[in-house]
Amino acid sequence: MAGPTDGYPTDAPYRIAFQASQTPAHLALVCATAGMAWAMRDDLQVADLGCGRGYVANTLAAANPEWRVVGIDHSPVQIAEAAMTARRAGLDNVEFIEADLGALADAGIARLPQFDVVMLHGLWTWVSDAVRDGIGRLLLQRLRPGALVYVGYNVLPAAAADFALQRLLRQLAGPRHDSGGSVIAAERAMARLRGLAGSLPLPRTAMLERLMNDPPLLEPAFVAHEFLTDHWRPVFHEELCAALAACKLDFVGSCNLFESLPGLLDDPERDRLLREAAPGQAREFLKDLCLPRSFRADVFVRGARAADPVRALDTMVVAATRALPERSPVLDTGVSRATWPQPLWEALRGRLEQGPCEVAELRAVRARDALHPAELLSMLVGSALVQPIFRATAAGPAASAARFNRAVAALHAQGGDGRGHFALAAHAAAGGLPADALDLALVSALSAAGPASDPSALALAIQPNATPGERELLTTRVAARLAERLAAWRRFGIL
């Protein structure tokens, strides 16, 4: 059994949790909102560092046959799964490399391509200084001018509330190498924590609540990755900026588009402080103080060029990812809940239901409301109701995306009941539409069945061995899901 590399367990697969916000399609929105020129291209070279089981890297490769995608992780079990998925989907534009990012020699780094986009989700604050140095060397040497770097990380001050919890779990786990591996160690720690936490003065964080829930809402493999690492320590945004400045990278903006909006904190005095703070690190720190979030996702650029944000956002094309709700969406920022007047929402919904459109056209449906495009997109993208479209869908589903969607259904759908946050590869979106196991199963069954979409026939295809009662329940779920998603899957060229 493989042991830990530099204090990080390598023997357990992490959960599959596709993050749309780390993909180049979303980074394009962040750049446009921040007034930074960056255009989606057909020939991107993309890397996912600490790629885990490779779901994001494979989705991007499948949706973008012209891109070259590289996933790097030190965990053999995860790299093996990532490579197997790529093989099953017939993807020849993705490569998975098993390597410790802290131990990559310059010669190894030099063999990598020059990247346009590098993603690090859940890596920076989990690894040692030596690994951070290795990542820094890679970024310094292998980024093209104009390249983007995405970093998802635990941020101070809010993440400090979990410091003691992490230390306690590590102690409760005991030695993980001689006791059946990190998942068993995590199970042991979770069981002991449940017996102890009520008597200890631990901050009642969301993480602790999920661990104490009966049954726990976190899987042992997740806990092994999140807590049984020797080096987990959150950072201030400013510290990350300093480390990346040494790689010639400048901060662009947060992946939470709403963070760029005026009135963000919904408290006049705090909003005044935020407006008066110097843009950049001082303002970002005030947000980190006032927003109750322990995780940040930020975008950095090598060589920023300014662009007019209104023009950049207005020319983006967006489409609905699901049937749109009757009532206006509500965007929860953690300190405020934003919503739109119902007539404005009805006008926007009416236009989106007709099909994809430019943001400028969408805003124009109610010119009197003078919606800023950043507000429009913060609300619609933030509530997962729309995604940008970069390519026409007239040619039908891209072959590689269709193969990937079938392969991941076979691997993970489990009759529509599989656990995980998946995605369906979409050529039009240059990425993926978030999906659950039922979505994977349904798209696979629909592509085999042709245009027919009878819910009971689909339920039979998804769970051929179900009892009549189970089949009836599944048929109801399938009918509801088709009403919610079928049109969007066609809109994004998934079907």
Ligand X SMILES: C[S@@+](CC[C@H](N)C(=O)[O-])C[C@H]1O[C@@H](n2cnc3c(N)ncnc32)[C@H](O)[C@@H]1O
Residues of the shown chain interacting with ligand X in the complex, contacts defined by CB under 6 A? 5-6, 8, 10, 14, 17, 50-52, 73-75, 78, 100-102, 121-123, 126-127, 131, 225
Question: Do the beta carbons of residue 492 and residue 319 sit within 8 Å?
Answer: yes
The one-letter code for the residue type at 423 is A
Q: How far is the CB of 413 from ligand X (least distance, A)?
A: 19
Nearer to ligand X, 3 or 303 (CB): 3
Nearer to ligand X, 121 or 391 (CB): 121
Q: How far is the CB of 126 from ligand X (least distance, A)?
A: 6
Nearer to ligand X, 131 or 380 (CB): 131
Neighbours of 423 (CB within 10 A): 28
Question: Do the beta carbons of residue 217 and residue 207 sit within 8 Å?
Answer: no
Nearer to ligand X, 298 or 375 (CB): 298
Question: Do the beta carbons of residue 305 and residue 348 sit within 8 Å?
Answer: no
Nearer to ligand X, 314 or 436 (CB): 436
- The burial class, CB within 10 Å (0-12 / 13-18 / 19+), for 393 is buried
Nearer to ligand X, 50 or 234 (CB): 50
DSSP codes, 79-106: HHHHHHHHHHTT--SEEEEE--TTT--H
CA–CA gap between residue 336 and residue 259 (Å, rounded): 12
Residue 449 has phi, psi (to 5 degrees) of -90, -5
Q: How far is the CB of 439 from ligand X (least distance, A)?
A: 19
Checking DSSP bridges between strand 337-339 and strand 330-332, what pairing results, if any?
Answer: antiparallel
Q: How far is the CB of 373 from ligand X (least distance, A)?
A: 29
SS3 letters for 335-352?
CCEEECCHHHHHHHHHHH
The one-letter code for the residue type at 358 is E
Nearer to ligand X, 120 or 482 (CB): 120
Q: How far is the CB of 78 from ligand X (least distance, A)?
A: 5
Q: How far is the CB of 444 from ligand X (least distance, A)?
A: 23
Question: Do the beta carbons of residue 290 and residue 340 sit within 8 Å?
Answer: no
Q: What percent of the chain is helix, strand and coil (3-state, nearest 5)?
A: 50, 15, 35
Tokens 């180049």 correspond to 24
Q: How far is the CB of 356 from ligand X (least distance, A)?
A: 29
Closest residue to ligand X, Cβ-based? 50
